[in-house]
Amino acid sequence: MAAVPSMLQLLGMIERDPGVNDIRQVAYMLATVFWETTYPTSTSRPAIGRNGKQIVGKDGSPVVIKERKWLMTMAPVDEVGRGRGKRYFDPVKIKSLSDGSVRITELDGDQFKISPAGRITSITKNAAMGTPPGGVAHKIYSNDDGLEQVYFGRGYTQLTWWSNYAKAGVTLGRGLDLLTNPELAKDPEIAYKLMSLGMLTGAGFANGKRFSQYFNSQSSNYVAARAMVNGVDHANDIAEIALQFEQVLVASRISMKKEMAVQ
């Protein structure tokens, strides 16, 4: 029930979005957010016997039962693990320059410049984005006077990599503010705009895929639609959730029409 206010906020943003005009789009957005913002939590409780007393082990210590539950938030969240093990896991240093551009210095010393229009160019020779996690900081990184930031997944659909934060901010007409302040990606309004723009147009972080490829007059493909966000990862699971949302939305629309007819 704690997720209800966040879900209502999300539904409100979807309702106000002039680009969303198909109930299947709504269902898939809700399913995606449901999946991306639900994460496992662990709780422990004492093991109680039939006599109402706590069970103890052979060594005399209390027996504890560990339970794994899933917490649904329907609100913008941080990526579980914050990108641990990924090439975007380690922090980078970011420095705003006098010409409005931004310099990025990665842990391995590679440097890049991002123009106010979002154009990314290399400063150091043979620079490549990303570093193997857990590496040692290069001297260039240690001496850089920029502010440390991390670019793990944030939002409704997990925006990752500093380059995507830069491109997404420019695409939304916000300049480089998502790059300089990545926590903005968890603001519900911004998180929704990122998801909506990507799914409707293929722009930003959505791998060039868009709703019209999966939902049109000839086809409806909830499974393949996962490619908009994350390849085929749990595509069938999310498709099943989307179908359930679609059924609820259709039933709700029918109910509203009946109520209006009575009035």
Q: Tens of pLDDT along 99-134?
A: 999 999 999 999 999 999 999 999 999 999 999 988
Q: What is the pLDDT of residue 126?
A: 94
- Report CA-CA distances (Å) from 237 to 23, 59, 140, 226: 19, 43, 45, 10
pLDDT above 60: residue 43: no
Same domain? For 206 and 239 the reply is: yes
**End-to-end alpha-carbon separation of the chain, Å?**
31
pTM value?
Answer: 0.84
Q: Count structural domains, the chain.
A: 2
Instruction: Please tell me the distance from the alpha carbon of residue 94 to that of residue 133, in angstroms, as a whole number.
Output: 18
d(CA 114, CA 136): 25
Alpha carbon distance 249, 171 (integer Å): 31
Q: Tell which of 146, 167, 186 closes a domain.
A: 186
Tell me the pLDDT tens digit for each residue of 179-224.
999 999 999 999 999 999 999 998 876 678 999 999 999 999 999 9
d(CA 115, CA 184): 20
Q: Answer yes or no: do 172 and 203 share one domain.
A: no
Choose one of 152, 186, 220: the last residue of a domain: 186
Helices (H), 150-214: 162-171, 177-180, 188-201
Dump strand ranges (E) for 97-137.
102-105, 111-114, 120-122
